[in-house]
């Protein structure tokens, strides 16, 4: 196909994207009349034999594919965690796609490998991480993974490898028999951990004990110590703990400084990981760093800029304090890949996949176009919006806020009755326009909160509860400038989640 034509298509796609983003708030957040398999009858059942016209493809995209879209960029989208997004990271990704290099080894694309480690150092420093995680440190290093789940999978794989190596010697097992020691291994996390820890344990065939947290959502060190002692007495071998900084359920933070000493008592092979996939991005602001006090105890940490640092999916940063410990269980070196001894540790050893995108480019554009100060401003505004919203919820006595609001996650409940909260969630969701947060549009902040209050009144009336009139106080006045209202990382999902008892 003609290059000039492709340039035209490219420009049209960019125009489409910009127009979409400018008008997304006019759409319903979730598709109203969509049933599973809606798309199948709308599209041919086989790929076209001959080339089709670009205009026809775009028309189908606009009228058929778009019909089934959940609009993650909509200002009223508050389920899950928001998708990181900015033009700066998009253009970096576009460039990466256009260049189409595959940077699995230094030799396969030196710039791709080198920019990645430089970005890992830039960001580690911007987050105030200990020096031991820098690529320029003696043993530490970092790399980009596709997701937090990938990062945790790889870390657990490495922890398992190291533990089995050590136990093999302790039990005088031959290398080929060390797998027989697998049933001895026990990993730990808390009920606040993301399910990807459980998945990683499943895939790694290791036992996982999920320990209960206290009222503030963190695992007491005594609870971890006791669990590990019990297991040690049974002849089992504790080898891994995955701490959580900023849990998906309620934004809870483990206390690394309290857990660290308990873990230090364990054998050298014990691996202390920290999952900060969402909240770790806030460490770009120095005032948030007390939440990672004790970080020097951990062996590895993962943070996803695509969850809260204006970065389009995918980008998951993984740092370790000892690169060789991470990769030695995964190194394979066929001649066709390793034909050049470069003294540069190929990033292919950090991931399960061999091929790697040039992900560092989007981070490079992001950091250069916003600067650390621009990114700090973004995070601070989000936190301010969350606190403002928290205040509004607290002022209406029909609601209770259940979590300690530190980042953008607010878990609130209507009354004391789980069913009321569930009904409220359903009522809000069936509108397909989730009115939970500030938008860029004038006065919408009040409208949004009033809509929740209105629906709450309906739920209470239906339940036969005499509702108190919603507060009409000055607190509904907009404090944060409207242009900052674009995103509040409020968890609508948590409206329902707070009704789940702690011991679920
Ligand atoms: N860890 C935390 C704290 C999360 O919030 C999430 C997802 O929301 C994950 C891990 C999994 O992330 P990913 O989709 O990158 O695997």
Residue 205 falls inside a structural domain = yes
The CATH number of whichever domain residue 405 belongs to comes to: 3.90.1150.10
Q: Is the domain of 322 the same as that of 408?
A: no
Whether residue 200 contacts residue 219, with contact meaning beta carbons closer than 8 Å, is answered with no
Compute the distance from residue 143 Cα to the ligand 1 centre, in Å. 17
Task: Give the angle subtended at the CA of 32 by the CAs of 27 and 38, to the nearest 5°.
Answer: 115
**Mean local confidence (pLDDT), 178-202:** 97
**Which residue, by CA, sits nearest to atom 9 of ligand 1?**
148
315 ligand 1 Cβ < 6 A: no
Q: Is 264 helix (H, G, I), strand (E, B) or coil?
A: helix
Bridge partners, residue 414, by sequence: 399
Is 122 a member of any domain? no
**pLDDT tier for residue 316 given thresholds of 50, 70 and 90:** very high
Return the HEC string of 14-43.
Answer: HHHHHHHHHHHHHCCCCCCCCCCCCCHHHC
488-502 pLDDT, tens per residue? 333 433 333 222 222
Instruction: Please tell me whether residues 400 and 324 are part of one structural domain.
Output: no
Determine the pLDDT at residue 2: 87
249: confidence class by pLDDT, cuts 50, 70, 90 = confident
Cβ of 149 closer than 6 Å to ligand 1, yes or no, is yes
pLDDT band at 467 (very low <50, low <70, confident <90, very high): low
- Same domain membership, residue 432 and residue 315: no
Pocket residue to mutate for ligand 1, from 83, 194, 243, 309, most atoms within 8 A of Cβ: 194
- Answer yes or no: do 390 and 504 share one domain: yes
Ligand 1 proximity of 157 Cβ (cutoff 6 Å): no
Q: What is the mean pLDDT of residues 103-112?
A: 92
Q: Do 428 and 504 reside in the same domain of the chain?
A: yes
Distance (Å) from CA 104 to ligand 1 centroid: 24
Q: In what order do the strands lie in the sheet with 141-145?
A: 141-145, 316-320, 300-303, 271-275, 237-244, 185-190, 207-211
In whole numbers, what is the pLDDT of the chain averaged over residues? 87
What pLDDT sits at residue 83?
82
Q: Tell me 300's DSSP state.
A: E
Residue 417 in domain: yes
Residue 42 lies in a domain: no
And the tokens for 228?
């590990």
Query: Residue 474 — very low, low, confident or very high, per pLDDT cuts 50/70/90?
Result: very low
Res 276: pLDDT: 98
φ and ψ of 189, to 5 deg: -155, -175
Give per-residue pLDDT as tens, 60-80.
Answer: 999 999 999 999 898 888 777
Cα 275 to ligand 1 centroid, rounded to whole Å: 8
Pocket test for ligand 1, best of 250, 302, 307, 312 (most atoms within 8 A of CB): 307
pLDDT of residue 137: 96
Q: Which of 301, 330, 359 corresponds to the end of one domain? A: 330
Is it the case that residue 118 has pLDDT exceeding 80?
yes
Pair of tokens at residue 375:
């990114």
Residue 486's closest CA among 74, 85, 24?
A: 74
**Judging by DSSP bridges, how do beta strands 207-211 and 237-244 pair with one another?**
unpaired
State in Å: Cα 379 to ligand 1 middle: 18
In a domain, 111, yes or no: no
Q: Look at residue 485 in the predicted model and tell me its pLDDT.
A: 35
Could you say which of 330, 359, 391 is where a domain stops?
A: 330
Ligand 1 contacts CB of residue 123 (under 6 A): no
Residue 282 has pLDDT above 60, yes or no: yes
Give residue-wise pLDDT tens across range 344-392: 888 999 999 999 999 999 999 999 999 999 999 999 999 999 899 899 9
In a domain, 217, yes or no: yes
Which whole number is the average pLDDT over 144-159?
97
| Rounded percentage of the chain residues whose pLDDT exceeds 70 | 88
Q: Which of 78, 190, 248, 494 to mutate to test the pocket of ligand 1 (most atoms within 8 A of CB)?
A: 248
Same domain, 314 and 377: no
**Whether the Cβ atoms of residue 258 and residue 207 lie closer than 8 Å to each other:** no
Query: Which tokens hold the place of 265?
Result: 């008592």
- 497 and 416, same domain (yes or no): yes
Same domain, yes or no: 325 and 193? yes
> Is the residue at 434 inside a domain?
yes
Q: Give 461 or 271, the one with higher predicted confidence.
A: 271
Ligand 1: does its nearest atom lie under 6 Å from the Cβ of 144?
Answer: no
One domain for residues 391 and 493? yes
Same domain for 381 and 298?
Answer: no
Window from 17-21, 24-28, 288-292, 442-446 with minimum mean pLDDT: 442-446
Tell me, using a 6 A CB cutoff, whether residue 278 lines ligand 1: yes
Confidence of residue 449 (pLDDT cuts 50, 70, 90): low
Least confident of 34-38, 129-133, 402-406, 480-484: 480-484
With tokens 């580690």, the residue in question is 124
Residues 172 and 318 in one domain: yes
Tokens describing residue 260: 């660290």
Q: 229 with 162, same domain?
A: yes
What residues make up the domain containing 201? 150-330
Quote the number of domains for the chain.
Answer: 2
Out of 204-208, 311-315, 370-374, 445-449, least confident range: 445-449
Interstrand relation of 316-320 and 300-303 (parallel, antiparallel or unpaired) = antiparallel
The domain spanning residue 229 has which CATH number?
A: 3.40.640.10
Reported pTM: 0.89
Q: How far is the CA of 304 from the centre of ligand 1 (A)?
A: 8
pLDDT level of residue 335 (50, 70, 90 thresholds): confident
- Would you say residue 451 has pLDDT above 50? yes
* End-of-domain residue from the set 270, 298, 330: 330
Find, among 18, 80, 83, the residue nearest to 309 by Cα.
83
Q: Which residues contact 221 (CB under 8 A, 6 or more apart)?
A: 255, 258, 259, 261, 262
Q: Is residue 404 part of a domain?
A: yes
Q: Mutate which of 247, 253, 274, 304 to test ligand 1's pocket (most atoms within 8 Å of Cβ)? A: 304
Query: Does 475 contact ligand 1 (Cβ within 6 A)?
Result: no
- 196 Cβ below 6 A of ligand 1: yes
User: What pLDDT digit, counting tens, does each position of 385-425 carry?
Assistant: 989 989 999 999 998 888 899 998 888 888 877 788 878 88
Angle at 212 between CA 416 and CA 273, to 5 degrees: 125
Does 503 score more than 60 pLDDT?
Answer: no
């Amino acid at each position: 196909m003609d290059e000039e034509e492709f340039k035209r298509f490219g420009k049209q796609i960019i125009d489409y994207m910009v127009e979409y983003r400018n008008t997304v708030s006019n759409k319903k957040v979730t598709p109203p009349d969509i049933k599973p398999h809606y798309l199948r009858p709308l599209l041919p059942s086989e790929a076209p034999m001959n080339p089709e016209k670009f205009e026809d493809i775009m028309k189908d995209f606009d009228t058929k594919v778009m019909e089934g879209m959940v609009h993650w960029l909509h200002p009223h989208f508050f389920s899950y965690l928001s998708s990181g997004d900015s033009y700066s990271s998009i253009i970096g990704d576009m460039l990466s796609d256009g260049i189409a290099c595959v940077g699995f080894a230094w030799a396969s694309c030196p710039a791709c490998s080198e920019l990645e480690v430089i970005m890992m150092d830039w960001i580690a420093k911007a987050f105030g991480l200990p020096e031991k995680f820098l690529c320029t440190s003696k043993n530490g290093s970092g790399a980009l993974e596709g997701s937090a789940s990938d990062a945790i999978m790889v870390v657990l794989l490495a922890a398992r490898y190291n533990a089995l190596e050590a136990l093999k010697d302790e039990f005088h097992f031959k290398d080929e028999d060390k797998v027989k020691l697998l049933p001895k291994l026990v990993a730990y996390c808390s009920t606040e951990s993301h399910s990807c820890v459980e998945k990683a344990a499943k895939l790694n065939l290791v036992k996982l004990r999920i320990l209960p947290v206290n009222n503030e959502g963190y695992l007491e060190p005594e609870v971890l110590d006791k669990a590990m002692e019990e297991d040690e007495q049974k002849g089992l071998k504790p080898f891994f703990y995955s701490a959580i900084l900023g849990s998906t359920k309620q934004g809870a933070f483990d206390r690394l400084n309290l857990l660290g000493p308990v873990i230090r008592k364990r054998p050298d092979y014990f691996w202390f990981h920290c999952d900060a996939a969402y909240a770790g991005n806030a460490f770009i602001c120095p005032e948030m760093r007390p939440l990672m006090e004790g970080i020097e105890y951990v062996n590895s940490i993962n943070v996803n800029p695509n969850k809260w640092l204006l970065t389009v999916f995918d980008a998951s940063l993984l740092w370790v304090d000892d690169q060789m410990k991470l990769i030695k269980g995964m190194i394979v070196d066929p001649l066709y890949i390793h034909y050049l001894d470069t003294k540069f540790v190929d990033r292919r050893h950090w991931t399960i996949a061999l091929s790697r995108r040039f992900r560092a480019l989007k981070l490079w554009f992001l950091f250069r176009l916003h600067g650390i100060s621009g990114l700090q401003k973004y995070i601070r505004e989000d936190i301010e919006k969350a606190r403002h919203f928290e205040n509004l919820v607290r002022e209406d006595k029909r609601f209770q806020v259940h979590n300690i609001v530190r980042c953008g996650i607010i878990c609130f409940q209507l009354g004391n009755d789980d069913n009321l909260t569930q009904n409220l969630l359903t009522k809000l969701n069936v509108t397909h326009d989730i009115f939970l947060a500030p938008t860029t549009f004038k006065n919408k902040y009040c409208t949004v909160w009033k809509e929740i209050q209105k629906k709450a009144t309906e739920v209470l009336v239906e339940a036969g509860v005499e509702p108190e009139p919603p507060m009409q106080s000055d607190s509904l006045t907009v404090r944060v400038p409207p242009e900052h209202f674009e995103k509040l990382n409020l968890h609508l999902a948590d409206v329902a989640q707070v009704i789940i008892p702690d011991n679920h």
